[in-house]
Amino acid sequence: MTHRSVFQGGLDRRRFLELGSAAALGALLPSETKAQGAELVVSNWGGDWNERIVKGFENPAFGSSQLRIVHDLAPVPERKAKLLAERRLPRGTVDVTWLSDADAYEMNSQGVLETLDVSRIPSSGHIIEKFRLPYLVPCIYGGVVILYNPAKIPTPPSSFADLWNPKYAGRVGIMDQIYFNYIYAASLANGGTMGDVSKAFPALLDLKKAVQPRLYPSHQTLAAAFQSEEIWISANYSARAVQWEKEGLPIRWSYPKEGAVFISFGAGITKRARNTEAAYQYLEAMLQPKPMGAISVATSYSVATNNAELNPEARKSLEFTADQVAKLNFVDYPYAAKSDPKWVEWWNKEFKA
Amino acid sequence: MGRVVEQGIQSLNGTLTARADSQAASSTPRSRAGWLLLPSLALVLLGLILPLFLMAKYSVSHFEAGAVVAEGLTLENYVRFFSDPFYLWILLRTLTVAFSCTVVCLLLGLPAAYILSRISHPIIKTALILATVVPLLMGNAVRAAGWMVLLADRGLVNSTLIFTGIISEPVRILYTGSAVVIGLIAVLLPFMIISLQSVFEGIGEIYEEAALSLGARPWKMFFRVLLPLAVPGIFSGCLLCFVLAVNAYATPVLIGGPSFQMMAPKVYEQAIKVYNWPFAASLAFILMGVTFILTVLSSLTLQKRYGTV
């Protein structure tokens, strides 16, 4: 009987010991050294958003380092579904994930996100205190405000209640994807709160009767409707208004007296990340003044840190005033997570029907 | 008539030869190559059957808002669907859209496929078949984007109608049921034409000639001779179109807009946006079950009427 050795095929005992030693040495090296030469998988939205993040932050910060950033790009529902599906695996495929504050809450409550060790993110002290979260490093923030066509509505609207104005019948635009924001806006405009939106539902049915709003499936179709003057007024994120105005659309935004509905975007580390060390490096690099300023300008959102590099003009056009920041309405995350299925059903059955 | 007899004899000869060949083949290595089916069977088993079992389990689980884990054993998801007129209406709308698309595709596809099958010039025939198939080479989303440009309030159709003075205000076409039906017909028509063309190719012209030479009028020949012979193929074409239309996702979402709700987008919404996997699974099973039942019923009816399907 022939004895077949594992060392056959060119791998002799000496070579095996050399390789084994190298592997053992690699394991003993400080993790930071390993992270620098490894891969980091970043889950993010695709399209313009990712291109802006790459151009404004990732390329300047990591372009010359040995760390290779691999992108996992998809809309957020698909990315969240993937993160949830990977929860039972010993190791996930994503290290860092970009999410909104509400999505991050949801993922954290499902055991997907790591509670961040702020001692490993020295610049986290620059995050505006109001926006800090234990599982997400916020990068930019904004709010749902009133968007209007200044040629058709010369006096800037001052309240979400202006959407109910019969003068704008047939000219009110609603975007289906952000149904929850219209529920919040209706609640706030009718004496409700972010933690009890019961007043929103009859108010939204009144809206349907009063102005017969036009329903659009996406931001792009809403923008096209503004451009063709099919609609004159809507509620949407301030950043969208800034961006569309820059692109030449007849749009301005005004801050509602009830306060805008807050939203922030940032990055967190998954619990099953393969390269935690590099993930922390990524978050720390993101919080530096220059990339934070670049991301803010590129996305037209306000910046969530107090030391970002922004020229005065950009700061003026993008930042909310102190009074506006004070009035921001924050999502009651547990309430929203619990209520969302009912809201979707109501929206589909009653509002859209 | 002589040609019919001649073809019948040839066909009989062919059948006998095939039987003899198959008996001979039973002892050849080719017949022992059945194991080659194993990879594809394993793929179907792992990629379709097992996930279906998993989905079946989800569909009878209880959903807790805010929690993704599905537990328990309950029929509440099915009860919710069948006791709520809203969901029944969505199912009815989906079936109506699919049925309408299938009927229109059949009406448009039948003459086109017949003419295509009777063209003898090979270059013209190839060119026409290519022209039929070319629309399938682009993705549904791209095709839908084209329809959006055409059918929008300020799109090409409305602009033309306004320019020619036929209408003064744009007519709402995009984000309506009509737009979905138009968009789906554009997707499904090539499937119908190609299915029917191959059916007509298989039916020799001699049957038509025989009927016509015996004094049948063209319409009578079509309904009494051609149609009964083509029924199995027509059924397959209709079934293909119907199943594709029932499960359509991109076209209803992009052209139908938020208010025109159909079953497949609803499954996606419940699974991916609401994370109600139990209800999403039950919706998927209901859609699958209804399609299956309708297929079996129509197949049995046609079998009774025409003998073979």
Task: Please check the confidence at residue A145 and state whether its pLDDT lies above 90.
Answer: yes
Pick A341's closest partner by Cβ from B65, B152, B261.
B65
**Mind spelling out the 3-state secondary structure of chain A?**
CCCCCCCCCCCCHHHHHHHHHHHHHHHHCCHHHHHHCCEEEEEECCHHHHHHHHHHHHHHHHCCCCCEEEEEECCHHHHHHHHHHHHHCCCCCCCEEEEEHHHHHHHHHCCCECCCCHHHCHHHHHECHHHCCCCCEEEEEEEEEEEECCCCCCCCCCCHHHHHCHHHCCCEEEEHHHHHHHHHHHHHHCCCCCCCCCCHHHHHHHHHHHHCCEEECCHHHHHHHHHCCCCCEEEEEHHHHHHHHHCCCCCEEECCCCCCEEEEEEEEEECCCCCHHHHHHHHHHHCCHHHHHHHHHHHCCEECECCCCCCHHHHHHHCCCHHHHHHCECCCHHHHHHHHHHHHHHHHHHHCC
pLDDT tens per residue, range B188-237: 999 999 999 999 998 888 888 999 999 989 889 988 898 889 998 899 99
Of the pLDDT bands very low, low, confident and very high (cuts 50, 70, 90), residue B2 is very low
Under an 8 A CB cutoff, do B86 and A353 touch?
yes
The whole-angstrom separation of Cα B254 and Cα A211 is: 24
Q: Flag if A348 and B271 touch (Cβ within 8 Å).
A: no
Quick one: average pLDDT of B265-269?
A: 93
User: What pLDDT does residue B81 have?
Assistant: 95
Cα(A214)–Cα(A207) distance, rounded to whole angstroms? 11
B22 assigned to some structural domain: no
Average pLDDT over residues A113-119: 96
Q: What average pLDDT does chain B have?
A: 85
Task: Indicate if the pLDDT at residue B299 is higher than 50.
Answer: yes
pLDDT confidence tier of residue B28, bands split at 50, 70 and 90: low
A230 CB neighbours in chain B (<8 A) are 153-154
Mode of pairing for the β-strands spanning A96-100 and A39-44:
parallel
Look at residue A144 in the predicted model and tell me its pLDDT: 97
pLDDT in tens, A293-307: 999 999 999 999 999
Q: Is the pTM of this model over 0.80?
A: no
Q: Which chain B residues contact residue A352 at CB under 8 A?
A: 258-259, 261
Question: Which pLDDT tens digit goes with each residue over B156-180?
Answer: 999 999 999 898 888 888 889 999 9
Query: Radius of gyration over alpha carbons of chain B, in Å?
Result: 25
pLDDT score of B29? 65
Nearest CB to A340 within list B63, B154, B274: B274
Whether pLDDT at A100 is above 90: yes
Residue A269 or A29, more confident:
A269
Do residue A334 and residue B66 have CB atoms under 8 angstroms apart?
yes
The two three-digit tokens of residue A70, written as one number: 């691999």
Segment 162-221 of chain A within 8 Å of chain B by CB: 176, 215-217
Per-residue pLDDT at A160: 97
Q: Which of the pair, A209 or B273, is modelled with greater confidence?
A: A209
CA atoms within 13 A on the CB side of A66: 7
Domain assignment present for B232 = yes
**Amino acid, single-letter form, for residue B250:** A
Inform me whether the pLDDT recorded for A105 exceeds 90.
Answer: yes
Q: What is the pLDDT of residue B302?
A: 78
Exposed, middle or buried by CB within 10 Å (0-12, 13-18, 19+), for B111?
exposed
In this predicted structure, what is the pLDDT of residue B110? 94
Partner residue opposite B66 with nearest CB, options A81, A338, A352: A338
- Asked if the structure places residue B163 within a domain, the reply is yes
Distance from CA of B260 to the nearest CA of A (A): 8
Whether the predicted pLDDT of A19 surpasses 70: no
Helical axes B177-202 vs B85-118, angle rounded to 10°: 40
Asked whether the beta carbons of residue B276 and residue A341 sit closer than 8 angstroms, the reply is: yes
Question: In angstroms, what separates the C-alpha of A133 from chain B's closest C-alpha?
Answer: 19
Q: Which residue has the tokens 């194991």?
A: B35
- A37 falls in which pLDDT band (50, 70, 90)? low
What pLDDT shows up at residue B30? 65
Residues of B in contact with A79 (CB under 8 A): none
Contacts of A84 in chain B (CB under 8 A): 68, 275
Q: Out of A109, A217, A334, whose CB is closest to B258?
A: A217
- Residue of A138 and A2 predicted with greater confidence: A138
**pLDDT (mean) for A217-233:** 90
Tell me if A338 sits within 8 A of B66, measured CB to CB: yes
On the question of pLDDT at B111 being above 90, the answer is yes
* pLDDT digits 0-9 by tens, A184-200: 999 999 999 999 999 99
Contacts of A338 in chain B (CB under 8 A): 65-66
> Residue B253 sits in a domain of what CATH number?
1.10.3720.10
Q: Give the model's confidence band at B78: pLDDT under 50 very low, under 70 low, under 90 confident, else very high.
A: very high
* Joined tokens for residue A177: 């994807």
What pLDDT sits at residue B63? Answer: 87
Ramachandran angles phi, psi of A346, nearest 5°: -60, -45
The residue segments making up the domain with residue B99 are 80-306
Domain assignment present for B26: no
d(CA A168, CA A145): 17
pLDDT at A14 over 60: no
User: In order of start, what are the domains of chain A with their CATH numbers?
Assistant: 31-140+263-327 (3.40.190.10), 142-262+329-351 (3.40.190.10)
* pLDDT tens digit sequence for A176-186: 989 999 999 99
Do the domain assignments include residue B21? no
Q: How many CA atoms does the CB half-sphere of A250 hold within 13 Å?
A: 15
Q: Which has more pLDDT, A287 or B271? A: A287
Domain membership flag for residue B40: no
Give per-residue pLDDT as tens, B121-160.
999 999 999 999 888 888 888 888 888 889 988 889 999 9
Q: Is residue B207 part of a domain?
A: yes
Give me the amino acid identity at A244: W
Determine the pLDDT at residue B97: 96
Question: If pLDDT is split at 50, 70 and 90, which confidence band does B309 have?
Answer: low
Task: Look at A341 and B274 and tell me if their CB atoms are within 8 Å.
Answer: yes
A47 interfacial to chain B (CB closer than 8 Å): no
pLDDT attached to residue A206: 97
Which residue bears the tokens 């549904």? B140
Mean pLDDT, to the nearest integer, of A331-352?
A: 92
- Position with higher pLDDT, A4 vs A65: A65
Verify whether the Cβ–Cβ distance B65 to A334 is below 8 Å. no
How does residue B66 score in pLDDT terms, banded at 50, 70 and 90?
low
Q: Is A84 in the B-facing interface, judged by CB distances under 8 Å?
A: yes
Q: Report the mean per-residue pLDDT for chain A.
A: 89
| Residue B178 tokens, joined | 């009509």
The pLDDT score that the predictor gives to residue B101 is 96
- Which chain B residue has the Cα nearest residue A349? B86
DSSP state of B154: T
Structure confidence at residue A172 (pLDDT): 97
Look at chain B and report how many structural domains it folds into: 1
Answer yes or no: are the C-beta atoms of A111 and A199 closer than 8 Å: no
pLDDT (mean) for B36-49 = 88
